[in-house]
Chains A and B, each alone.
Chain A
Amino acid sequence: MKVKVVTRILEANDRIAEENMRRFREAGVYVVNLMGAPGAGKTTLLERTILGLKGSLRIGVIEGDIAGTDDAERINNTGVPVVQINTGGACHLDANMISEVLPDLPLSELDILVIENVGNLVCPAEFRVGEDVKVMLLSVTEGHDKPLKYPLMFRESSVMILNKIDLLKHLDVDMNKIKRDALSLNPSMKIFEVSGKTGEGIDRWTEWLKGQRSQ
């Protein structure tokens, strides 16, 4: 007997993601799924973001890594609540991993929760975790061919942050091409240019985050 099963393959994940989202809404916390390649500067951006929002918004962090707690320790040093997830090999975070650590975070005392995904420009794009917004970080050192090589990530992310712009003068990278190609894949994409090292441009990103939180 043939049975029609018209649903997304990731329905099981999506269901848990929706439940996570319901818990986030209930707690009144705005959730950012931060994705990008290893070394793009995700943790440094986060440290800058936490610093920039200090005194105005309460932020919490979930750190996703295959192994190790280095990132969680760096976030812990900034004084905000952080939970580390070690995926033990998995190349992305999924909704269930997030669901399991939620009891370890003081959700109702947070305004923003940032979920730093496993460093990877491919797999995390596919898995919803219950976020309000998918933000991708691309460092200009990665090269201007990335949007067309990894189209799914650029299509799925509502925001792209271009990092390491302090290095542009040393590179043969065409940042306008990155923006052009990203926008052709995703015309409504919001783009920020920052330097995690010098702090340049971080204020525009944190102002945007504040605006999202108050909507």
Chain B
Amino acid sequence: MHEASIVLSLLDTLTNRCREEGYSSIESVRIKIGMASGIMPEAIVFAFEAAKQDTIARDAELFIEMVPVGGSCSDCRNDFEVSEAYVVNCPLCGSHSFKIQKGYELDIVEMEVNE
């Protein structure tokens, strides 16, 4: 539901960066979304298509890389990755002592621009 606000913030950051560096338009944008971030990629694409129209990203294509939830276990000392949005114990040994290292991303990676 909050994907529209997220897209507006994304466009704001990119537009500012282009103004600072003197780029005239954006051709593509690459972002990372963690599977545990609660963000629906379809809704991001939909909002991006609508919100980009009056900006220098109007011709930009959006690429989304989904990042699975993963972490490392302090007991069995292995790294793991899961398909769910949350982890309650290490999928390898069942331990509750683990650290989540990825899956909450909401990051901009790069954009392709014209000078």
Contact = CB atoms under 8 A, between A and B. Distances in A.
Contacts of A2: 110-113
Interface string A160-202: 0000000000000000000001001100000000000000000
Interface stretch (A5-13, A102-110, A129-137, A203-211): A5-13
Contacts of A123: 1-2, 38
A9 B31 contact: yes
A1 B115 contact: yes
A122 B106 contact: no
A146 B96 CA distance: 19
A148 B86 contact: yes
Contacts of A122: 1-2, 38
Contacts of B104: 152, 155
15 contacts: A1-B112, A1-B113, A3-B113, A4-B110, A5-B111, A6-B108, A9-B6, A11-B9, A13-B5, A91-B1, A91-B2, A94-B5, A126-B6, A127-B2, A151-B86
Interface string B80-109: 000001101100000010000000101111
A148 B109 contact: no
B46 interface: no
Interface residues of A, number: 30
Nearest to B7: A9
Given A122-B38, A126-B38, A12 B12 contact: yes
A141 to B, nearest CB: 22
A63 B108 CA distance: 32
A92 B9 contact: no
B110 A7 contact: no
Contacts of A181: 88
B62 to A, nearest CB: 11
A125 interface: yes
A184 B1 contact: no
A51 interface: no
